[in-house]
């Protein structure tokens, strides 16, 4: 199996099959990252596709001495920021309940199921009210399960900064959740 860096170098030399391999390797991750950042299925799909086009167009700028994933994540994050900037606050669309695969719903207990759905709705709304950087750090840690070290590498920031940003983002999210109760 070729490394990501080798595939990007092959893309740089015009190998479209190498792009196909990268797409197959990261299409689900790209979609889920975008979904966590923009909160809408259709937008996340468009962003993840655009991210792969940017990889193809920008392969020449890739620094082969550095890992692929932080570079690719930066592309997705920048596209997501741009997408959100274009969309007004009133047009913000939440993640549909079907997209929330991280929450197990107990079908045998309809009352508890309704409570879960209400909590999900409040959480989605609160997440969309957070500034992008706060939503990003929470999504990476809590919904993607990345460690502090993985987030630090992905965002190219010190581990201590990850911990600090996560602490303050959680406080903001808790405040927003309590306001919605």
The reported pLDDT for the residue numbered 101 is: 44
The model scores a pTM over 0.85:
no
Per-residue pLDDT, averaged over 79-105, amounts to: 60
pLDDT higher than threshold 60 for residue 70 = yes
For the domain made up of 4-86, the CATH class stated in words is: mainly alpha
Q: What is the pLDDT of residues 120-175, one digit of tens each?
A: 778 888 888 899 999 999 988 988 888 999 999 888 899 999 999 999 999 999 99
User: What per-residue confidence (pLDDT) applies to 96?
Assistant: 46
Q: Where along the chain do its domains lie?
A: 4-86, 107-179
- The answer to whether 148 touches 162, Cβ cutoff 8 Å, is yes
Does domain 107-179 bear CATH number 1.10.10.10? yes
What is the structure's pLDDT at 181?
A: 67
pLDDT computed for residue 128 by the predictor: 83
Q: Is the pLDDT of residue 72 over 60?
A: yes
Q: With a cut of 60, say whether residue 46 has pLDDT above it.
A: yes
Say yes or no to pLDDT of 4 above 60. Answer: yes
In this prediction, residues 17-38 reach a mean pLDDT of: 92
The pLDDT assigned to 76 comes to 95
User: Rounded mean pLDDT of the chain?
Assistant: 84
Fold equal for 4-86 and 107-179: no
Q: What is the DSSP string of 31-83?
A: HHHHHHHH--HHHHHHHHHHHHHHHHHHGGG--TTS-HHHHHHHHHHHHHHHH
139: DSSP letter: I
């Amino acid at each position: 199996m070729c490394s990501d860096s080798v595939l990007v170098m092959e893309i740089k030399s015009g190998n479209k099959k190498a792009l196909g391999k990268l797409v197959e390797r990261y299409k689900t991750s790209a979609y889920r990252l975008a979904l966590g950042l923009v909160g809408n299925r259709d937008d996340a799909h468009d962003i993840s596709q655009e991210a792969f086009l940017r990889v193809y167009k920008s392969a020449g700028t890739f620094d082969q001495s550095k890992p692929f994933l932080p570079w690719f994540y930066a592309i997705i994050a920048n596209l997501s920021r741009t997408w959100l900037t274009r969309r007004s606050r009133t047009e913000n669309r939440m993640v549909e309940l079907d997209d929330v695969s991280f929450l197990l719903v107990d079908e045998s207990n309809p009352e508890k199921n309704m409570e879960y759905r209400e909590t999900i709705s409040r959480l989605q709304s609160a997440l969309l009210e957070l500034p992008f950087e706060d939503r990003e750090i929470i999504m990476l840690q809590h919904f993607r399960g990345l460690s502090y070290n993985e987030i630090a590498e992905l965002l190219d920031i010190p581990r201590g900064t990850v911990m600090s940003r996560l602490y303050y983002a959680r406080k903001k999210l808790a405040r927003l959740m309590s306001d919605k109760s």
